Amino acid sequence: MIDEGDLRILDILSRRLVAKPGEISVAFGGSDGVTPSLHKLLAMDCIKVIEPIGEKCYVITQKGAKLLKESVSPDRQQHKQGFLTA
């Protein structure tokens, strides 16, 4: 299942459109959790690897954008808040 770290990476890619692994790591705060999350998101087809400048870069896919949008929708936030306070 997708976790908060995965969502942060999707959010970073949705804002930047294209990012190198090092750029994602810096934006993520230099955490060691970046690589496993990238592999997980690749396996889920939420991100893709491209090489537009001869270096590995990541881009968000439509599936990843949809997952990110659903995860931050107002309905889900209300449900999460209700679940946490109940």
pLDDT at 73: 65
Range of the domain at 77: 4-85
Query: pLDDT tens-digit profile of 4-62?
Result: 999 999 999 999 989 999 999 998 887 777 999 999 999 999 999 999 889 999 999 99
User: 75, 2, 14, 70: which is closest to 41 by C-alpha?
Assistant: 2
Residue 84 has pLDDT above 50, yes or no: no
Total-model pTM = 0.79
pLDDT at 74: 59
What do you get for the CA distance between the two ends of the chain, in Å?
23
Domain count, the chain: 1
Q: CATH number of the domain that 75 lies in?
A: 1.10.10.10
